[in-house]
Amino acid sequence: MPASPVLLEVIATAVADARLAAQAGADRLEIVTAMGEGGLTPSIGLIEAVVDAVPIPVNVIVRPHSRSFVFDAHDLAVMTRDVRAIVAAGAHGIVTGMLTEAREIDCEGLARLIDVAGDLAITFHRAFDEARDLHEAFDTLLGFEAVTNVLTSGGKPSVLDAADTIRLLVQQSAGSHCTVLAGAGLTVDAIAGFVRATGVAAVHFGSGVRIGGNGLAPVDPLQVARVRVLLDALA
C-alpha cells in the first residue's frame, strides 16, 4: 500500500469542472474534449482558461481523432503543433499515446512528441490497453525518461475487472520514474478496496465523479471530496 496519499486525477471538460474538482481535493486535472469518444485534444482557449483558473497541475490530452491509436505523418504533424501550443499555454504535462499497426508502442512517434514537449511531463494514455502485450509495452515505456505516468485499465473496459494486472504493473514499475495511473470504471464505493488490492499510487476519475455517473455531466464536487477522504484514509 502506498506510504503517502494516493494522487487523484480528475478529467475536466470545462472551466467549471476544473474549478470544482480542484476545490474538492483533486491533485491534478486532465483536460479533454469529446469525452464520449475517449477524449480528444481540447481548444487552446480552454487550456489557457483552465491553467489560469486552478492552482493544481493541468495535463492536456493530445489526440487528434478517435479513429484509432495508429497515427500517420499528417496526424503527428498536427499533434506536434498542439504540443507546442500546450507548452506555450503553461500546462504541466501532456497525455498522449500511439501504437504501430502491430499493436506495439510507436516509439518514433512518441519520441517526436517528447522532443517538442521539452520539460513537460508525459502520461501515456489508454492506447496502452490496446497493446499486444501490456508488460512488454510497459517495459518499452520505461525506456522513456519523460514518461512519468501510464494511464491504464489493465486491458479491460473497467479497471475494476483488472486488479491482478494492475498489481503486476505496479510491481513492474517499482523503483522506476514511472507511475501506474489506474483509470476507467473506477467508482467512489470501490476505490478504497481497489487501492488496497493493487497498491496503486495514482488514480484517474472521469464518469465516477460526475453527476449521476454520466460522463457528459458536470463534475460533482461532493463525489470528488468523498474520493479524497477515502484516499487520504489509506495513507
What are the chain's domains?
Answer: 7-232 (3.20.20.380)
The alpha carbons of the chain give a radius of gyration, in whole angstroms, of 16
**How high is the mean pLDDT in each 10-residue block of the chain (235 residues)?**
75 97 98 92 98 98 96 98 97 98 98 96 96 97 97 97 97 96 96 97 97 93 97 90
Distance in angstroms (rounded) separating the CA atoms of residues 96 and 124: 5
Closest Cα to residue 95, out of 65, 127, 55, 71?
A: 127
Packing angle between helix 44-53 and helix 15-24, nearest 10 degrees? 30
Q: How high is the pLDDT of residue 1?
A: 37
| Amino acid at position 112, single letter | R
Tell me how far apart the alpha carbons of residues 60 and 42 are, in angstroms, rounded to a whole number.
8
Query: In one letter, which amino acid is 45?
Result: G
What whole-number distance in Å separates Cα of residue 76 and Cα of residue 98? 10
Rounded distance between C-alpha atoms, residue 183 and residue 125, angstroms = 10
In angstroms, the CA 185 to CA 208 distance is 7
Q: Please report, in angstroms and rounded to a whole number, the separation of the first and last CA atoms in the chain.
A: 8
DSSP class of residue 104 equals: S
Q: In terms of DSSP H, where are the helices of 13-72? A: 15-24, 44-53
Q: Select from 193, 186, 107 the least CA-distant residue to 153.
A: 186
pLDDT for residue 4: 59
Determine the pLDDT at residue 3. 45
Helix (H) / strand (E) containing 61: strand 58-61
Contact 99, 127 (CB under 8 A): yes
Give dist(CA 64, CA 79) in Å, integer: 7
> Cell digits for 119?
520539460
Long-range contacts of 159-162 (CB under 8 A, 24+ apart): 159/183, 159/184, 159/185, 159/186, 159/194, 160/185, 160/186, 160/187, 160/190, 160/194, 161/185
pLDDT value of residue 235: 72
